[in-house]
Amino acid sequence: MSKLLEGVDQSNAPYIIVSSDTHAGLFVEDYREYLETAYHPEFDEWLVTRHQHRAMVEELNGEYVEQWERENEVGLKGAYDPDIRDKTLDADGVAGEIIFADGDAVTGMESPPFGAGLSAGMITDSRLAWAGARAHNRWLEEFCATNPPRRAGVALVPITHGVDEAVREIEALAGKPGIRGIMIPTRWHDNPSYGHGSYDPVWAACADAGLVVHTHSGEADPEAYNDNMAQYMQEVPFWTHRPLWQLLFSGAFDRFPNLKYVPVECGSWWLGDLLYKADAMFGGRNWKVKKMSSRTKGLIQRLPSEYVGTNVFIGASTMSKVEIRRRYLNGIDALMWGTDYPHPEGSWPNTVTRLETDFQAVPVEETRLLLGLNAVRCYDLDLDGLVDIAREIGPTPEQLNQDLGLRTEPNAIREARFWFDDYDIEWKG
Amino acid sequence: MSKLLEGVDQSNAPYIIVSSDTHAGLFVEDYREYLETAYHPEFDEWLVTRHQHRAMVEELNGEYVEQWERENEVGLKGAYDPDIRDKTLDADGVAGEIIFADGDAVTGMESPPFGAGLSAGMITDSRLAWAGARAHNRWLEEFCATNPPRRAGVALVPITHGVDEAVREIEALAGKPGIRGIMIPTRWHDNPSYGHGSYDPVWAACADAGLVVHTHSGEADPEAYNDNMAQYMQEVPFWTHRPLWQLLFSGAFDRFPNLKYVPVECGSWWLGDLLYKADAMFGGRNWKVKKMSSRTKGLIQRLPSEYVGTNVFIGASTMSKVEIRRRYLNGIDALMWGTDYPHPEGSWPNTVTRLETDFQAVPVEETRLLLGLNAVRCYDLDLDGLVDIAREIGPTPEQLNQDLGLRTEPNAIREARFWFDDYDIEWKG
């Protein structure tokens, strides 16, 4: 604990806020110039369906769409306009950002060609999934170059559409300034699950290239919901972070120690219990260890909770109050705030107001980790460049109504992780 | 809170322990006389595969099997021998029991014909699923009659193999003494999910007959695990209690107010967060309510957490320490201890020893609910009959090292359910 916070500024200096969850994308038609010409005829057909989709959403939910787009007319253009985007981030107090595809979450009009962003797993023709992904990645590279310290792009690599193609794309992305991660489809559909060894070339390439692997909230199991939105909302976090234990328990982080994985916009409230159950299985003195040892022994070398903050970070987006309270339990060194800009579910355009109410009881040093420094470490961002931006726009601790004298309790994490006592597990934190 | 505990005995009278999770079953060959003769040829073929299965388990895990069966030789015969069973329950301090199929969890030699118990969902020929279920149900009725106050049987009704057949079986079971519930397959496989209206006749029949619907831990999603046991263990609670939100959010408990559902042997640690997210969606002042209201408004009439303890109870089996600590959060009126007798994962044959260490900090009145009275209420058991049994064999509070003066804090539940404050939800508890 103290080690994690060592050297973290406890003064009233402005916060370096990094949003671990933003979105950007061209208006659909404008992707044409980034798309290989062979795909233009199919692109034209797809555009027709996109416009039909928007019309349908307007018909179902027109009042909401109209109000959202009217009230946020300028800020929404920041999905593709870098100057507007910078001004909008400034106003929201956000210095840096981790950028995902699909700028428009309401009517889907800024989706990469063929829906190759958040919906890539559902594309049936793999050729189109890759063509759409490459088009977006070309544009994303340019877009991130408009303000290098500020923008870290997450490229599209739909690995369920072919591992070889994925490795080629990752190798092509490696070392490109501005590209700091890849997003894979949240679900593996009819392919082997992500714990299967056939994906090892993907993890190896990402570890080599220093690209963080992401799954992002969106896909779930629609056939199970009978059109009931509450069913979807109840389950979507499970489907989003399900790859976590696929990677962890299959030993991917041990075979590729530089591999990092971040589930995004599925909260963090579930993490403590996941670690409790996983640590108890692997580290506790109970029957499960014996039963499982023959199959899993040697596959993972540390306790599951010890991979959090090194190989696993959490794009927790707009953390709820209880998620902030559970920060020690879940990993003060792993949780990353995100605004979800320019989507409607997040804290934008009221991020600072939200922080003013919700972080009053959090020590400054911890707040710095949650709001930005964890992301700087996860993505190896340009800290000096971000400090320069934050100096002008970051809210200060006093603006967030925080007490500069509040300090972290030395045993805070140890006490939050109740299962170390319950299962007699040795504490190495 | 106080209402729930009203009239609960705080003296040193013995505990009425009801195990909400026990198993019973004939040795496979002995099911023949309960099986319709038309199925005997297929039964003979199936028996061969059962013996092959046992041989395989012995080959993989022979030392464990040999030790388990040697050390528990007598107690294991209680799977089908009522006298031995009564003596074994006596020694474990257990007065009453809720009985599921599949007595032998280690080598599967007490499975109903064709695997119609915990594996019924995976049977491909529905004829066999029903034949096996009926055979077990015939035997179970006789078995429960050997000690009526003590034994409450859960019959097999594999609803994924046909709703009409299910309704016929439920109507045949209705009013049979000793039968208090049905077990349905944990997963719906390729059928409509359990929130679909096509299952309404099943829920209606169960509500009419006063039969509690159960899913029991066992099935998960094996294709996703690549033979990795940790993956299975991580997910099996999700798959076991997934029907909870299918029933809840589809309004099944509102259409059939007498319907009760109990997920069994998947713990209870997940329940608080499930209620937090669900209540926040339906009862909180946040964006989700507005977005969802058009689809779900009117479907459910109370807050999700208000169905717990009325329509939803939890067969939490052997509760871990943290589950005992979270009893207010999860529902002091809904959690039910279970020993899992005669399976090896539970507290049998050391139930009393376990209770002696783990319940010291729990007030007597609450312990009475968790260990037995919640089950009495859920299943409408014969309380007087159970008191008579418990008088002879139930451990007393003092034996469990409990302080008879310890009382429940009046605001304990209100304070544990943090989301009522976080989301400004009105408390009606």
Transcribe A135-193 into DSSP letters. Answer: HHHHHHHHHHTTSTTTEEEEEE--GGG-HHHHHHHHHHHTT-TTEEEEE--S--TTSPP
Identify whether the C-beta of residue A74 lies closer than 8 Å to the C-beta of residue A84: yes
Give the chain A residue whose CA is nearest to the CA of B61. A291
Measured between CB atoms, does A318 come within 8 Å of chain B?
A: no
Measured between CB atoms, does A30 come within 8 Å of chain B?
A: no
CATH classification code of A2-422 = 3.20.20.140
Return the biggest CA–CA distance within chain A: 63
Residue A340 predicted with pLDDT over 60: yes
Torsion of CA B88, B89, B91, B93, to 10 degrees: 170
Question: What are A202-223's pLDDT values in tens digits?
Answer: 999 999 999 999 999 999 999 9
Residue A307 predicted with pLDDT over 80: yes
According to the 3-state scheme, what is the secondary structure of A301-325? CCCHHHHECCCECEEEECCCHHHHH
Residue B425 predicted with pLDDT over 90: no
Beta-carbon contacts of residue A237 (< 8 Å; ≥ 6 apart):
A217, A266, A267, A270
Identify whether the C-beta of residue A370 lies closer than 8 Å to the C-beta of residue A336: yes
Give the chain B residue whose CA is nearest to the CA of A194. B224
pLDDT-wise least confident of A83-92, B221-230, B326-335, B362-371: B221-230
Give B-chain residues touching A193 at CB under 8 angstroms: 223-226, 231
Q: Helix or strand or coil: residue A21?
A: strand
- Residue by residue, DSSP assigns A345-368 as TSSTT-HHHHHHHHSTTS-HHHHH
Of A226, A227, A419, nearest to B322 by CB-CB distance is A419
Measured between CB atoms, does A226 come within 8 Å of chain B?
A: yes
Residue B337 predicted with pLDDT over 60: yes
Question: What are B12-22's pLDDT values in tens digits?
Answer: 999 999 999 99
pLDDT class of B298 with cuts at 50, 70, 90 = low
β-pairing verdict for B179-183 and A18-23: unpaired
User: Å from B294 to nearest chain A CA?
Assistant: 10
Measured between CB atoms, does A285 come within 8 Å of chain B?
A: no
Q: What is the mean pLDDT of residues A367-395?
A: 98
Using alpha carbons, select from A275, A307, A319, A300 the residue that is nearest to residue A416.
A275
pLDDT class of B287 with cuts at 50, 70, 90 = very low
Of B228, B235, B344, nearest to A250 by CB-CB distance is B228
Question: What are B101-115's pLDDT values in tens digits?
Answer: 999 999 999 999 999
Residue B119 predicted with pLDDT over 90: yes
Task: Please indicate whether, in this complex, the C-beta atoms of A249 and B234 are within 8 angstroms of each other.
Answer: yes
Residue A284 predicted with pLDDT over 70: no
Identify whether the C-beta of residue B340 lies closer than 8 Å to the C-beta of residue B24: no
pLDDT attached to residue B6: 81
Give B-chain residues touching A273 at CB under 8 angstroms: 269-270, 273
Binning chain A into helix, strand and coil, the percentages to the nearest 5 are 50, 10, 40
Residue A306 predicted with pLDDT over 70: yes
pLDDT attached to residue B296: 54
Strand order in the sheet with A96-100: A18-23, A96-100, A151-156, A179-183, A212-216, A261-264, A314-317, A335-337
Residue B292 predicted with pLDDT over 60: no
Query: What value does the mean pLDDT of chain A take?
Result: 94
β-pairing verdict for B261-264 and A96-100: unpaired
Task: Please indicate whether, in this complex, the C-beta atoms of A226 and B278 are within 8 angstroms of each other.
Answer: no
Spatial separation of the C-alpha atoms in residues B221 and B204, rounded to whole Å: 29
Beta-carbon contacts of residue B386 (< 8 Å; ≥ 6 apart):
B16, B18, B95, B96, B149, B150, B372, B376
pLDDT class of B229 with cuts at 50, 70, 90 = confident
Task: Please indicate whether, in this complex, the C-beta atoms of A278 and B322 are within 8 angstroms of each other.
Answer: no
Identify whether the C-beta of residue A4 lies closer than 8 Å to the C-beta of residue A373: no
- Residue by residue, DSSP assigns B34-97 as GS-GGGHHHHHHHHHHHHHHHHHHHHHHHHHHHHHHHHTHHHHHTTT-HHHHHHHHHHTT--EE
Give long-range contacts, CB 8 A cutoff, 24+ apart: A133-136. A133/A157, A133/A158, A133/A169, A134/A36, A134/A169, A135/A31, A135/A34, A135/A35, A135/A36, A136/A25, A136/A31, A136/A34, A136/A101, A136/A112
Task: Please indicate whether, in this complex, the C-beta atoms of A230 and B245 are within 8 angstroms of each other.
Answer: yes
pLDDT attached to residue A6: 81
Spatial separation of the C-alpha atoms in residues A314 and A325, rounded to whole Å: 16
Q: What is the mean pLDDT of residues A170-181?
A: 96
Residue B333 predicted with pLDDT over 90: yes
CB atoms within 10 A of CB B47: 15
Question: What are A70-95's pLDDT values in tens digits?
Answer: 999 999 999 999 999 999 999 999 99
pLDDT attached to residue B285: 55
